[in-house]
Amino acid sequence: MANLKDVEVSEYLKQCVDMVPEQINEEFSRMSADYAYWNEKYAEANRLELVTEWSEKKAYASAYLQKKMEAQVSSTKTSEATLDAEVKTSQVYGRAVEEHIEARAATAHLKGVLEALKTKREMLISSGAHLRQEMQGDPIIREKMQRARDEREWMKDE
């Protein structure tokens, strides 16, 4: 994540994937926003990965043509394997490869964040179901829920 401050991102990421079971409603309400934010970051990283992949191929082709022209100008017979090795060890191509690797790593990291958020959502659903089961067994809560249903029915009738 090249242009974000690591500390801020790490703290926000921690807030996104941490789960406080006692605040299940709040956790659920922020899931969509968290997922949208990290999905946007993933899309940006994926775009950057594709751009750097293209740049890597372009750098290879450019360096290859340059090395081939140099060989022709000097009237030196150079094999394809030698040209390929010279290109792959050139600084320009090396930088392009490094940028592509960094972009791929950022994409993989953000894919993991999205997977963590999906897991959190599944855990929230499971926790919610478990809490509902527990609450159904509590007579006080059952009574409150019945009153709330009765009030809703009463409001419909009016």
31-56 confidence digits (pLDDT tens): 888 889 999 999 999 999 999 999 99
In a domain, 16, yes or no: no
Whether residue 75 contacts residue 28, with contact meaning beta carbons closer than 8 Å, is answered with no
Whether residue 103 contacts residue 2, with contact meaning beta carbons closer than 8 Å, is answered with no
In a domain, 98, yes or no: yes
Helix (H, G, I), strand (E, B) or coil at 5: coil
In a domain, 155, yes or no: no
pLDDT of residue 8: 60
Whether residue 96 contacts residue 55, with contact meaning beta carbons closer than 8 Å, is answered with yes
pLDDT of residue 57: 97
For residues 69 and 75, give the distance between their C-alpha atoms in angstroms, rounded to a whole number. Answer: 10
Q: What is the DSSP letter of 2?
A: T
In a domain, 7, yes or no: no
Q: In which domain, by residue range, is 100 found?
A: 30-125
In a domain, 102, yes or no: yes
Q: How many domains does the chain have?
A: 1
In a domain, 107, yes or no: yes
pLDDT band for 3, please (50, 70, 90 cuts): very low
